[in-house]
Amino acid sequence: MPGLNIGIPKHVAIIMDGNGRWANQRGQSRAIGHRAGLKVVRKIVRAASEKGILALTLYAFSSENWNRPETEVSALMALFIYALNREVKRLHQNNIKLRIIGDISRFNQQLQKMIYQAQSLTENNTGLVLNIAANYGGHWDILQATKKLIAQIEDNQLSLAQLDEAVFQKQLCLADLPDVDLVIRTGGECRISNFLVWQIAYAELYFIETLWPDFDESAFMQAIEVFQSRERRFGNIKEQS
Ligand code: IPE
Ligand code: IPE
Ligand code: MG
């Protein structure tokens, strides 16, 4: 059928939501929910890598998540350190390139160091690009790009006339990757919650009720099938797309 997405998406982004509710339903702490969520991350990374998806971008911690109770924020930071310690070698063996996007400077020194080491270990890998959004906000991303561009203009390296969408996009996170094709959000909320903004301008959006710890490979494949059945027009009309 003309216009349908026969291929798999090149770039998938996921808002992994619902860990807290999953734990509440079981009378357990939210930290237990986040730990269960990490197991699902492992499965979905493997599935994306095996499927030949070019890039997977996962929303792990938003710039607003600092507002949560200190116990939960600490549990999430500890889990982040635990995951980096445990998983980076395996990611490297699987030829996965790991990157953390977001304002890293707010993390403690130990975590920042681990992030830089993990990124440099895997930077030449040629398989799946795995981006973990941590202390990320779509607003922050646009603002940090704007500040870099203003600095370039002030330095006379760039003129206002040269500033177009392509030049702007180069300063954003994920600039070297194709725009997101598919955004999946688990947990039932139908919002973006300050995840990627610019990069999802033409993404297909897929919201499901399933809580993140209950998400699995088959639910992931189902999302990809739905994506493949959508008709992307990019402002064009059906006959031309
Ligand atoms: C998403 O799950 C994970 C993070 C935000 C770190 P939540 O913790 O938001 O879970 P719910 O939405 O409260 O169920
Ligand atoms: C979005 O989930 C952030 C992550 C999944 C990391 P939230 O649970 O923080 O979003 P809201 O508060 O429901 O919008
Ligand atoms: Mg939530």
Quick one: which H or E segment has residue 185? strand 182-185
Q: Which CATH number does the domain housing residue 189 bear?
A: 3.40.1180.10
Q: Out of 19, 24, 65, 125, which one is annotated catalytic?
A: 65
Q: What is the CA radius of gyration of the chain?
A: 19
> Is 127 inside any structural domain?
yes
> Is 223 inside any structural domain?
yes
The per-residue pLDDT for 2 is 46
The per-residue pLDDT for 238 is 81
The per-residue pLDDT for 3 is 55
Active site residue 85: no
* CA 2 / ligand 1 centre spacing (Å): 39
Question: Is the CB of residue 18 below 6 angstroms from any atom belonging to ligand 1?
Answer: yes
> Is 96 inside any structural domain?
yes
Spans in the chain with pLDDT lower than 70: 1-4, 239-241
Count of C-beta atoms within a 10 Å radius of residue 184: 27
Structure tokens at 220: 């992931």
Question: Which residue shows structure tokens 């400077």?
Answer: 105
> Is 197 inside any structural domain?
yes
This prediction's pTM:
0.96
Which residue's CA is the closest to the ligand 2 atom numbered 8? Answer: 17
> Is 238 inside any structural domain?
no
> Is 146 inside any structural domain?
no
> Is 155 inside any structural domain?
no
Chain-centroid distance of CA 145 in Å reads: 18
Q: What DSSP character marks residue 199?
A: G
Domain limits at 202? 3-137+177-231
The per-residue pLDDT for 61 is 98
The total of structural domains in the chain comes to 1
The per-residue pLDDT for 4 is 67
The per-residue pLDDT for 6 is 73
Contact 122, 93 (CB under 8 A): no
Question: Which residue shows structure tokens 């990490």?
Answer: 38
> Is 166 inside any structural domain?
no
